[in-house]
Structure formats: C-alpha cells, structure tokens
Structure 1
C-alpha cells in the first residue's frame, strides 16, 4: 500500500496503522528517525588570557540552543601529535649530521615534556640514551676548524650546517644531557670566524654562494647560534638588520628572535610585524602567505619550517599574540596526517618539535593557574589547575539576539592567580557548532565554496523534477582559495533519490563519470574530481587521490550511503574541483533538497555549503 504524507517534524516521524473488523481490532505503531535537513556549521575564535578576556561569536542565523554545542578547549600537549611517528625520530649513527640533529630535536622536546607526552615504546631512559648517542656522534664529527662535518670529521661543512648541529647540542645540554664545553667553544669560534673572515667554502655546494640570499642565510645561522649560546655577535646582527630587505622570509624571523634576546624588542617587532600582518586566520588555523613557502631554500627543504619559525619567533617577541594558538593548531593539524610519516622529512619534525616544545611548557604552566569560563551568570567551566582538557555543553542560556536577526554568544574567561606563573598567557579555542531553527536554503562560504546541481541523465539539462524510475546526474563543484587539508564533502540526497553504485554488475554498464555532456565547452574532458587545467596542475601528482571508473579524483575516499554521498580528500590545493555521481528516482513525492556541505574535518570553521530547496519525483504513468 502506498500513501502520501507530509513530514513536519524535526527529529522523528511516527506512523500508526489501525485495523479493525466487526469483532477484533489491532494496531501497529512505528517510529522512524528523521535525517536532519542541514549539516551543523562551526564558528571558531582563538584567543589568550592573562587576567580576563571576552570572547564574542556572532551567528548569522537563529539557532536551537538546546541542540547546538559550545566547545571550549585549551587542548592537550601538542607534542602528542608526534607520538605515532617515533620510528621516524630514532637516532641512527649512520645518518648525516642534519638528519641526526633533526631526529634529536623532537626526542629532546618529548624527553623534557616527561609524562605530559608519553610515547608507546619510548621510555624516558631510552629517549635519553638516543639523545646521548646523537650528542656523541655530532661531537665526534667536529672538524679541526670547529665545524661539524656532514658525515665525518673529515667531511665538508658550512656555517648553516654546523649551526644547525649546534642547535641540537644546545637543546640537549639544556635538557640535562652532558655536552662537552670544548665542543661548543670550538664551534662558537668557527661560526664567529665564518661571519668575520669570509673565505671560500670548499664544498659541493660552493656554486650556491653566488646568491646573496645564501650568503646572508649563512651569516644569520652563525649569529643565531652565538645568540643562543649567550655570546651574541652584535656587529653581525646589526649588519644583518641593515640588510633586512635582502633577507629571506625565515631569516627575518631568526633575526627578530636575536633582537628580542638582546632586549631590542622594538627592532624585533619592526621585523616581524609585516609578517604577522600577512598571515590569515581561518577557523583554528593560520594560513601563511605564498611568499613564506615559495622562497627557494638551499640545503634541506621543509614545508613545516616556515610555520614553526614564525611560532618560535612570535613566542619570543610577543608571548600574548593572537596568532600563537592558530599557528600551533596549524602544526598539529598537519602532523595528524603524518601517521605514516612519509611526507614529513626530518627538517619538518625537528622544526615542529622545537617550536611546539616551547609552547607546551608555557601552556602547561599557564593551565596550572586555573581558569573560569562564564556565559552571563552561568559558569560554563571552572578549572583549578587540573589536566588540560576540552569541555562541550549545550548553548542553552549562552545565546542572545541581535538587531540584524542573528544571534551572539559572549563568554568571559578569567585566569587564576597570575602570580603563580608570572602572568604567562593561557591560549584557548572556542567553537560553536550550530543547529539552525529554520531549514537552510541559501549558500554559505567560509573559506570553501560549494556548488551542486542536478542534470537529466540523457540530455544533461539542469532539473529539479524527474519522473519515478529515471536516472539523475548529480554534479558537485568545490572551490578553495587556499590549500586545504582533510576536506570532507557531504551531499545529502533528497529522500526520493538513491545513489547508484557503478561498481555493481547490475549497473556496471552505465558510463563512468567522464562520459557525460560537459557543463560548458571549456570543461570538455573534465572527469569526476578533476581540477581545472592540465593533470600536472597538482603539485604532488597522484600521491593523493584515487581512481574512480577510470578517472583520477583528488578525493581519496568515497562512500555511497542510503541518504548521502561522501567524498574525503587528504589535500586540496588552491583551485576548483568537481565530482559527480548517478542517482535513481525511486519514490514519488516532494522532498527537501538539503545543501551540500564541505569542511576541513580538523578545522570545521573553514566550511561552505551550496543552496538548498525542494526536489520533486513525479509518479510514473501506468
């Protein structure tokens, strides 16, 4: 028996069927859970508090406060993100000096964190033993002139390479690992001479020194080590400051740290302020300008070092800067994808660990003060210095109406006794996951643009109505204005449609995603998931993505479910991407057409949705 009905409920629908005869009667009642006609959107604010701070989040549309969620987090130790990568951090005595130094820095950071960042299979004793081994190998590679050779004491070196090895030795010494004073003294003398007695570099990379950026980078590295060890070379630092316009992006940050260490905070701010201004905050994450990553780097490239350098410099120059929490989250989010460790090199691990170690120590001290979060007169959460944690609760009582028709969430965060930690700021994240009161129909773009339309399978013409039993081509287009990571694209199906699995034999004769009429002549040949332009558009080729019915897609994973189709991409580079699938109209009726939604899974405030509306399936003529 088929009958028409209208569903006006929010969460579930109840059907009751009564039957009766002259003498008997019976009834059956069935409750069916309804699928929401929306995908919750997230709004995130990051901040810090020394004494008190006010957090304001504006919501563009009225929300259901009982079902919407408020999330307040000061996070766990960021060093925990390195836990799954321990096998890539082990010190091997046959590695080159750069690799050993990069392996030592994360181990030292984890060793100093102690029980805050436990690693499976890595005890404190084992970590110390590996660090001691690294110290012994680097010390044994010190050349007669004081530099650290690449492979041995007889091998070539440069000021940058020796300074990097020296940074690992200094970090080990600060962690309580014995390092001979004579090794550090000879290394200091070598680096001082390299800045003041510039001679010919006898190395396979000698041709690089015709580039002024390389020459200045060597001087920055030497001066940075001398500053760290407590013997600042002020003439070299001043000369580098005079030539700041010629310095590479990362070298300006290192110079800012040197200036801050010697107390010249005005000069340090002058160096770093233009860099701060060029960084965008999207959700919980910081997005660096192209100039930070495009600069050609000699020696060892690193995709994470620019973020780590900026975090380290910001902690030194302005420990309350609002960019600190987003920079930490950027490193943490990118490290989440390195469980296999294969696309982070040793420079990535070393730079990230050194920066996160400093932040972790500060955040742990700040959390020990305790803090209180209030929404009006309500206490959302109160900590008395216990373990760092995340708190989630309904928005009930925390939302107020504003004149433009939207709503606002206002929180007051108050830190505990500042005297117990010398006023160290506590960094936090506040996220609202909204559940709207009204069914959304308008598109929204918060860092990701999503478009979706339906086509007649035979003609390719756009449709919002189809006859029962017909096939429908569903097309999705996603546009990102910056590189995005771990993106989930979800397309809820109108209840009258069902996705067709082309991998099944019963439907395998249908053409694949590329064998359809293109939307415009310029998109001819564009298959499912392909970006605009040539196939070599993608910086990493086919390391990411998957093959779908003979067409390459940037989405690594695809799921066809009863009520939705889901695509997941590890990385989407700046550009436009498409996806398409086939659905069949199975049930006549007028159905809600929920918006398609995309978001970064670990940074959901970067999101977007398509328009919504109604889709009609008409009954097939008998």
Structure 2
C-alpha cells in the first residue's frame, strides 16, 4: 500500500498494483465492520476497546487515504472519538490506566490528529516541560509536532543536540536504542531498528542536513540480523523512512563532472554516471609523506564517493589495535600460574585465554587465532589423553563459547564464529601442546564483524621460545 508504484518490492502475484490495492480495500471493509459505534477498535470482537489499537488503526487509515482508498467515513468517526475520549482527563474509559500510560496515549492521539491536518497546539504545552523524561517514541512524536511551531524552535534544537549523545555510532552506521521502549507493552514491535527508522524520518522532515542522518539510513539498509522474528511494525517504519528520504533525494539526471587531485596531480576527471564504481588504486609506496586529497564537483547532481585504504604491513605490530573490539592473550600452566610464551617447555601443555571487550553488540563475529609453528591446539572434539583438561576451564568473565555457532581447531589456527554477541567482557579458553623446540612467532589474533570489517580488534605479535 505504501509503495503503490514500487512493484519491485513485491513477489509473484503481488507485483500487480491492482491486486495489492484490492487486498488493502478488502481489509478496509473488514475494519468498517469491526469499528464500534463510537469509532474505536478491539483486538477481538468480544473484547473491550483498545485505545492503542484504535490509534494504530487511525494511522493506517491515514496512509490508506494517501494511497487512494475511500476511508473518510471511518476516519471521521475515529477522529471524533479521539477528541471526545482520549484527550480528556476525566474520560471514563481511561480511569483504569495510570498517568504514564495516559500521557503516552494523549501524545499518540495528538500525533494522529496532527497527521490528520487538525493539530491541537494549545495542548502541546502540557508535555514540553518534561519532554526529555518521556520515552523515545513519545519524544519523536512531540518533536515532529513542535517543529512546526516557531515558538518551540529553541526546544526542538536543544532536543536535536541531545540526540547526538544518544545515537550509537557503529562503524559507518548509526543506531538509536531506548531499552525501555522495547520492553514496553504499549510499543510492542518497536525494536531498535524501528526507533532508528522513526528518528531518521523525523530528521528528514525537521533537519535534513543533520550529519548523522546518512549513517542512520545506512544502518537501516545494511543491517544483517539473525533474529528469527521481525515485527511488521519494524518493517513499516523502515520503509516509511526510506520513502521519506526518497522524496528529498535529488535524482541523478545530469552527469557529474568532478575532479580528484592529490597534491595538484589529477587522478580522475569526468565521472561516468552509468558506472557505480570507478576505483582509483594507488600503491602505498607511491603515496607522498604529506598528502592533500581534493574532490571537487564542477557540475551535475549528487556525487557519492567511498574512500578506503587497503594495505599490508611488512611486519606485524608488537601491540594490538582497537576499533570497537579489544582483544588480548594470556598464558597459564596447568596449575593456573601465569607464564610468558618465551618460557615454554617442550612437551608441556599450557592454557591460553583470549580476553574480549565489545564496545557494542557484535553481529556475525569472526575470530581468527593463529598458532605458532611449535605448538598445536588441544581439540576436545577428539577423545585424546588431554580430553580431561575440559574440567580445568574456569572463567572470571562470561564465556564467549555460550554465543558461538561454530568453531574450528586446525593445525595452524583456531576459528570462531558467532551470529550475535552482546556488549561486554568475555573470555575464551583453549589449550596448546608444545611440540617443537626453537624460536617461533605467533601472529596477531583478530576479531571482527564479518559484514562490518571496520569494526575489529587485534592482539600484538608474540615471540615464542621453547626450551
């Protein structure tokens, strides 16, 4: 219904817009039969009216009207009910609910009337004094309404500034999350992604030049989740956000003429709009010590570009890197005494502990732990003489193993895979047998998100000496 002319979003028979229109029209007829005499709706024909459901149905009817459906009679009846009941403090229907619920309901009702083209600005003042104490969804609804009134602009700008501290940046993407909303029965289905979509839609309408708008949209389109349940409300919010952005995005009709220079040396002139990617590869050894890169658009519509550096070091670092993930190694003998890899003894077995800290929840995590040439891992999947060492695995932090979907123990490295890991500290323990005397080197271990490789962490290299 929302994308009446976007046939590519649908499959099979639903690619036909006439069929889609008919399905929505049939559902609207069902709603007309289930609407009570006052204009409200209930979850079941035999149950009491639900104020939350009534307002959600009203929002659906507003969207249906914009798509060309005849719903004026239904909307008028519901609108009168909202004015006469949901905005009244002495309404009999709302006496059983606490003040927090009634405030959410009133803000929701005011928002529906705002979308109907009948704003009630005289009632906004009741909530502006404690705006920042409201839940995230109520705040978003209030700001969208207040933004159209000049007297509330200072409050709107202060709220927008506050959001910069609440938006979580994750690599090239950004998300907003209010845990209270996800656990609130009033907002069933309002996941973190739904909240992110609603904030993005608000910024498009109120401040389209906000620097975090594009990362928020990137977060919506690039999310790869292993969740088994995604609510229809979440899907709807994301589609509405992308639809709103589609309206303000200037379509590229004219070829973009741009010049890319490095230290006054021209790297690329005319950009062909028919090609999505025109890579420029510069070997690291050709880069000057001081680099001044300029990208100048001379004419055309919108120029999007992505700049990344890919290079390999001649030798490994002695220290680790932290880009959203912190990773360290520790070594212990079988008595639990800490040792260094420079003091390994031939024929002995040692315990290795990988310590992780995830600054944010990690999706599709991959851990690669290389092994020195003089050691081999103990694989508990095989019942060897070392199989009983499992009982010596004790952790001071939550174990990463609880979240692993797959693990591989090879001769040269250990691989770990997890679909999702919450934010926090974790440990992973394994054992190694020292098989050869000599001096060896253990390359850095690396943990990263498979689909967001810019979020990663490494250890440093370590020298191994076996006596």
TM-score of the two chains, using structure 1 as the length reference: 0.64
Report the Cα distance in structure 2 between the residues aligned to 1:381 and 1:121, rounded to whole angstroms: 43
Equivalent position of 1:132 in the other structure: 25
CA drift of 1:577 comes to: 0.5
**8 Å Cα contact 1:480/1:575 also seen in 2:** yes
CA drift of 1:222 comes to: 1.4
The 5-angstrom pairing of residues 134-283 of structure 1 reads 134-152=27-45, 155-158=48-51, 160-174=52-66, 176-194=67-85, 196-200=87-91, 202=93, 207=96, 209-211=97-99, 213-261=100-148, 267-283=155-171
Alpha-carbon spacing, 1:269–1:595, altered in 2? closer, same or farther (3 Å): same
Report the Cα distance in structure 2 between the residues aligned to 1:449 and 1:611, rounded to whole angstroms: 11
Equivalent position of 2:353 in the other structure: 475
The 5-angstrom pairing of residues 169-568 of structure 1 reads 169-174=61-66, 176-194=67-85, 196-200=87-91, 202=93, 207=96, 209-211=97-99, 213-261=100-148, 267-288=155-176, 296=184, 298-304=186-192, 305-334=194-223, 336-338=224-226, 342-363=228-249, 365-368=250-253, 371=256, 372=258, 374=260, 376=262, 377-379=266-268, 382-384=271-273, 386=274, 389=276, 394-396=281-283, 399-402=287-290, 410=293, 412=295, 414=297, 417-418=300-301, 430-457=307-334, 460-465=337-342, 466-506=344-384, 509-512=387-390, 514-516=391-393, 523=396, 530=399, 553-568=402-417
**8 Å Cα contact 2:367/2:445 also seen in 1:** yes
RMSD across aligned positions (CA):
3.5
CA drift of 1:488 comes to: 2.0
Deviation string, structure 1 residues 290-323 (Cα, Å, up to 9, x no partner): 6775884535253223222211111111112121
Report the Cα distance in structure 1 between the residues aligned to 2:407 and 2:279, rounded to whole angstroms: 30
Alpha-carbon spacing, 1:381–1:310, altered in 2? closer, same or farther (3 Å): farther
Report the Cα distance in structure 1 between the residues aligned to 2:348 and 2:20, rounded to whole angstroms: 64
Report the Cα distance in structure 2 between the residues aligned to 1:253 and 1:374, rounded to whole angstroms: 40
**8 Å Cα contact 1:309/1:351 also seen in 2:** yes
Alpha-carbon spacing, 1:560–1:266, altered in 2? closer, same or farther (3 Å): same
CA drift of 1:156 comes to: 0.6
Deviation string, structure 1 residues 546-603 (Cα, Å, up to 9, x no partner): xxxxxx6222222223432122222222221111222333454433322111222222
Of 571, 583, 598, 2:447 maps to 598
Deviation string, structure 1 residues 53-87 (Cα, Å, up to 9, x no partner): xxxxxxxxxxxxxxxxxxxxxxxxxxxxxxxxxxx
CA drift of 1:416 comes to: 5.2
Alpha-carbon spacing, 1:413–1:584, altered in 2? closer, same or farther (3 Å): farther
Higher helix share: 2
Report the Cα distance in structure 2 between the residues aligned to 1:138 and 1:474, rounded to whole angstroms: 63
Alpha-carbon spacing, 1:462–1:382, altered in 2? closer, same or farther (3 Å): farther
CA drift of 1:450 comes to: 0.6
CA drift of 1:201 comes to: 5.6
Higher RCO, Cα 8 Å, sep 6+: 1
CA drift of 1:271 comes to: 3.1
Alpha-carbon spacing, 1:553–1:110, altered in 2? closer, same or farther (3 Å): farther
Report the Cα distance in structure 2 between the residues aligned to 1:395 and 1:137, rounded to whole angstroms: 63
**8 Å Cα contact 2:87/2:109 also seen in 1:** no
CA drift of 1:123 comes to: 2.2
Alpha-carbon spacing, 1:394–1:121, altered in 2? closer, same or farther (3 Å): farther
CA drift of 1:484 comes to: 2.7
Report the Cα distance in structure 2 between the residues aligned to 1:303 and 1:257, rounded to whole angstroms: 20
**8 Å Cα contact 1:314/1:324 also seen in 2:** yes
**Structure 1 stretches of 5 or more lacking a match?**
1-107, 403-407, 419-424, 532-551
**Structure 2 stretches of 5 or more lacking a match?**
none
Report the Cα distance in structure 2 between the residues aligned to 1:303 and 1:373, rounded to whole angstroms: 43
Alpha-carbon spacing, 1:507–1:416, altered in 2? closer, same or farther (3 Å): farther
TM-score of the two chains, using structure 2 as the length reference: 0.83
Higher strand share: 1
